Amino acid sequence: MVLKADQGDSYLLLKVLPHDKANDWACKHRASVNTATQGVEIRNDIALERATESLKALASGESRRLFARHSDKVLRRLGIDEEILPIIRLLPDEAHLEALHRVLPEQQFDVLLGLASGLEPDEIDREIVQAYARTAAGDGDAPPESGLVSAMAHARGRVALVSGPEELLEILERPFDTWRIFLHPAQHRVAYRDSYGGPVRVTGGPGTGKTVVALHRAHHLAHRLPPDAPDGSVLLTTYTRDLAAELERCLALLITDERIRAKVRVVNVDALANETLRRARAGAPLKLVVDQREIISRWGRIAHRLGVDFTDVFLDQEWRQVVLAQAITGPEQYLKAARTGRGTALGPLKRAQLWRAVAAFEEQLRQSGEWTFLQVCAQAARQLESLESRPFRHVVVDEAQDLHPAQWRFLRALVAPGPDDLFLAGDTHQRIYGNKVSLRSLGIQVAGRSSRLRINYRTTHEILTWSASLLTGERPDDMDGGEESLAGYHSTLHGSHPDVRGYPARGEEIQALVARISEWITSGVSPEDIGVAVRFVQLGRDIAQALEQTGTQVCLLGTGPLGPGVRIGSMHRMKGLEFRCVAVAGVNDGVVPMRGALTPVDSDLQQHQEDLNGELNLLFVACTRAREVLRVSWHGTPSIFLKPAVSGR
Ligand SMILES: Nc1ncnc2c1ncn2[C@@H]1O[C@H](COP(=O)(O)OP(=O)(O)OP(=O)(O)O)[C@@H](O)[C@H]1O
């Protein structure tokens, strides 16, 4: 479907449909210009008329009105036009508004949904109306001209402007993935703002497009580099190697100009820190201790040898969360250190005892020439701080919520403080490694440069509402002294409710899951579009074996390059990924939360609570990977986290 302006020679690609359906669509739809944003809107007059009739019938027996507290004046200012106003005045609740999703003009629907989700008109104006208006005005500073021709010329997002048949063909031939990196105006505003005065933070619930925005920001920063800037001047980084590989793949889809693409280096934080330190040591490889079980058993041996009164896990946590987090290097510094977030108070004697264990642990590593990842980051940061110049001009970070202060110090040291130095995307509802930070204490000031994305593009309303209902605990921090919230977070997609069910025994759960997966495949879902998340890798292996026995190909995440087949992995491995169908299996009592991952209550109550939050976030992350279908199962007794969801069924 192509829209032709009433004057001039502009055409706008609206929709691609088979011939007869396209004719039918064209008869029912009409284009107009939004009064507040000057953007193109498409409306279906016949459907609007029908909706009005049924709403009138409903309204006569219903006294509730969804938008009663907002005056016509306010609604008009936000772009609700004279045809839509009387219709939405009849709406009793959000469910009825959502039912009009496909009928109302898109920009007006976004505004109304924002109001219904509890956002204030000024917030809507700033976050939705202005974002659409900027898009309609184009990238220049000129005020928007009104009229359909101008609106079409600047249309972006779900519509694309083409100047001729070749361009149209090129768009249609792009792979589906390319469409996954298109931006909503609210995202565009954040990603393509010409310049920021300093570090920027973008937050938002799962699936709100933070990764997409980070990719576009990297593109923008690379594009505006001076011509003499060396390749790799922009760093795009994240927590793990797998996620970095995914960013690299998407970046290649987004930036097709090889010269600009070469300006962006994509690598995960730990690998870059390792490389930095190695370079400083003339290339000598670092001997790394990566196995957490090995680290814990070393603490246990030290505690035993020195006769100190702390558990191995407590010592390790204290070392990571107090000593390494604050870059403490001596006993005097440790004696005075704030231990925010640690539940057990430690007097001077206890601290002296604990420091003896820390000193012995660090000495042992030194003597054997070994490093942990966090030590590598800390040392790499010190190394960079001693240099005059910094290796990058801009640093863009995805999954920022999981980074440890030592990693933040390293990132801070990679780029000189100044405009557009750091761009951070993350969501503390998805924090799964227990690394809490205060950005400002690390010299990263994001105040006044933060924005929150609220529309979920991945998951259906049903999956999102169910998953969010699991988060019953306190609100997480926002990494900057405040609290994070999911207010206004919503999805306009609809689908089936999550399938949540228990089985008497493990074998039966696996059998039923295998049957369900083969139904998904038979119905046309490709195996690579199916993800199975488990808390214990062994359950994943058993599910893989059962699937293979029925002839279904599987691919275990984290075991090398991705091959074909159903993706099976730990909940940790699910981070940042998405699938059409997701099964979260083995959500049993004692497994989710995993008993061994919880600090005992009598050892440290606060830490126990933090560990519980981390486990809950993990389940939330796994569930919110689903685009269309979510299935959650357990055997025996369900996880305590499922209690509200199971009893509410
Ligand atoms: N404006 C948009 N229009 C359509 N789809 C979009 C838009 N923005 C993002 N998406 C799609 O939504 C999905 C989620 O995006 P993305 O992975 O960037 O979200 P996220 O906020 O980083 O998620 P998470 O925190 O859960 O990893 C992707 O499939 C992405 O392509």
Q: Based on the domain organization, do 297 and 410 belong to the same domain? A: no
Closest CA to 385 of 233, 229, 276, 265: 276
If you average pLDDT over residues 107-133, what whole number do you get? 82
Answer whether residue 28 is part of any domain. Answer: yes
So what's the pLDDT on residue 550? Answer: 96
What distance in angstroms lies between residue 257's CA and the mean position of ligand 1's atoms?
Answer: 23
Q: 187 near 213, Cβ under 8 Å?
A: yes
Q: In the chain, what is the straight-line distance between the N-terminal and C-terminal CA atoms, in Å? A: 43
Verify that 367 and 393 share a domain, yes or no. Answer: no
227, 204: one domain? yes
Of the three residues 306, 340, 371, the one that is the final residue of a domain is 371
Q: Is residue 480 part of a domain?
A: no
Is residue 150 helix, strand or coil?
helix
User: Of the residues 371, 398, 425, which one is the last residue of a structural domain?
Assistant: 371
pLDDT value at 174 more than 90: no
Give the closest residue to 76 by CA, choosing from 374, 310, 67.
67
**Would 352 be classed as within a structural domain?**
yes
Residue keyed to tokens 């940790």 = 572
> Is the model's pLDDT at 142 over the cut of 60?
no
Give how far Cα 634 sits from Cα of 213, 484, 544, Å. 36, 30, 17
Rg (CA), the chain: 27
Would 512 be classed as within a structural domain? yes
The whole-angstrom separation of Cα 351 and Cα 310 is 11
Judge if 317 and 401 occupy the same domain.
no
Residue 529 falls inside a structural domain? yes
Residue to mutate, 174, 180, 431, 491, ligand 1, most ligand atoms under 8 Å from C-beta: 180
CB 90 within 8 A of CB 55: yes
Q: 597: exposed, middle or buried (C-beta count within 10 Å: 0-12, 13-18, 19+)? A: middle
| 419 annotated ligand-binding residue | no
Q: Same structural domain for residues 322 and 239?
A: no
pLDDT tens digits, 528-582: 999 999 999 999 999 999 999 999 999 999 887 788 999 999 999 998 899 999 9
Give residue 375's pLDDT band: very low, low, confident or very high (50, 70, 90).
Answer: very high
- What lies within 8 Å, CB to CB, of 467 at 6+ separation is 206, 459, 498, 620, 623, 624, 630
Least confident window among 92-106, 139-153, 517-531: 139-153
> Do residues 556 and 604 lie in contact, with contact meaning Cβ atoms separated by under 8 Å?
no
Q: What is the CATH number of the domain that holds 218?
A: 3.40.50.300
157 lies in the same domain as 8: yes
Residue 549 alpha carbon to ligand 1 centre in Å? 35
Last residue of a domain, one of 173, 201, 225: 173
Write out pLDDT tens, residues 278-337: 998 888 889 999 898 999 999 999 999 999 988 898 899 999 999 999 999 999 999 999
Give me ligand 1 centre to Cα 220, in Å: 18
Q: How far apart are CA 472 and CA 509, in angstroms?
A: 27
Phi-psi sector, 501: left (phi>0), alpha (psi -120 to 50), beta: beta
* pLDDT tens-digit map of 394-443: 999 999 999 999 999 999 999 999 999 999 999 988 988 878 888 988 98
Return the higher-pLDDT residue of 222 and 645.
Answer: 222
Per-residue model confidence (pLDDT) at position 145: 47
pLDDT greater than 90 at residue 584: yes
Give yes or no: residues 193 and 53 share one domain: no
Q: Is residue 474 predicted with pLDDT exceeding 50?
A: yes
Task: Decide which of 215 and 489 is more confident.
Answer: 215
**CA of residue 202 to ligand 1 center, whole Å:** 13
Q: How far is CA 157 from CA 13, 160, 176, in A?
A: 11, 7, 15
User: For residue 578, how far is its CA from the centre of ligand 1 (angstroms)?
Assistant: 9
Question: Is residue 208 marked as binding?
Answer: yes
> Which pLDDT belongs to residue 595?
85
Say how far apart CA 625 and CA 389 lie, in whole Å. 40
Statement: residue 51 has pLDDT above 70:
yes
Q: What is the distance between the alpha carbons of residues 58 and 639, in angstroms, rounded to a whole number? A: 42
Averaged over 191-195, what is the pLDDT?
Answer: 92
Whole domain around residue 452: which residue ranges? 185-280+388-458
Q: Are residues 203 and 164 located together in one domain of the fold?
A: no
Q: For residues 218 and 225, is the Cβ–Cβ distance under 8 A?
A: no
**Do residue 108 and residue 223 come from a single domain?**
no
Q: What is the phi-psi region of residue 404: left when phi exceeds 0, alpha when psi lies from -120 to 50, beta otherwise? A: beta
Q: Choose which residue among 401, 457, 463, 582 to substitute to test ligand 1 binding: the one with the highest number of ligand atoms within 8 A of its C-beta.
A: 457
Is 209 known as a binding-site position? yes
Q: How far apart are CA 144 and CA 130, in angstroms?
A: 12
Does residue 489 surpass a pLDDT of 90? no
Q: What atom of ligand 1 comes closest to residue 575's alpha carbon?
A: 27
Count the domains in the chain.
Answer: 4
Determine contact, residues 11/47, Cβ cutoff 8 Å: no
Query: What pLDDT score was predicted for residue 176?
Result: 41
User: For ligand 1, what atom is nearest to the CA of residue 213?
Assistant: 18
The answer on pLDDT for 162 being more than 70 is: no
Higher pLDDT, 496 or 61: 496
Closest ligand 1 atom number to CA of residue 181: 31
Q: Which pLDDT belongs to residue 186?
A: 80
| Residue 33 and residue 164 share a domain | yes
Give CA separation, 195 vs 213, 260, 323, 418, 544, in Å: 15, 18, 36, 11, 48
What per-residue confidence (pLDDT) applies to 483? 78
53 vs 260, more confident:
260
**In a domain? residue 377:** no
Inter-CA distances, 261 with 234, 269, 364, Å: 10, 20, 44
Do 361 and 395 lie in one domain? The reply is no
Cα of 82 from ligand 1 centre, angstroms: 33
pLDDT at 377: 97
Nearest CA to ligand 1 atom 30: 180
Q: Highest mean pLDDT range out of 137-146, 172-181, 200-209?
A: 200-209
pLDDT of residue 140: 42
Beta bridge partners of 235: 265, 395
- Report yes or no on 359 lying in a domain: yes
Annotated ligand binding at 492? The verdict is: no
Q: Mean pLDDT across the chain, nearest whole number?
A: 86
- Judge whether residue 23 has pLDDT over 90: no
Classify residue 230: in a domain, yes or no. yes
Predicted confidence (pLDDT) at residue 34 exceeds the cutoff of 90: no
The annotation status of 205 as a binding-site residue, yes or no, is yes
Winning range, highest mean pLDDT, from 181-185, 199-203, 450-454: 199-203
The Cβ of residue 19 has, within 10 Å, a number of other Cβ atoms equal to: 7
Contacts of 318 (CB under 8 A, 6+ apart): 310, 342, 354, 358
Q: Are residues 404 and 514 in the same domain?
A: no
Mean pLDDT of all residues in 66-71: 91
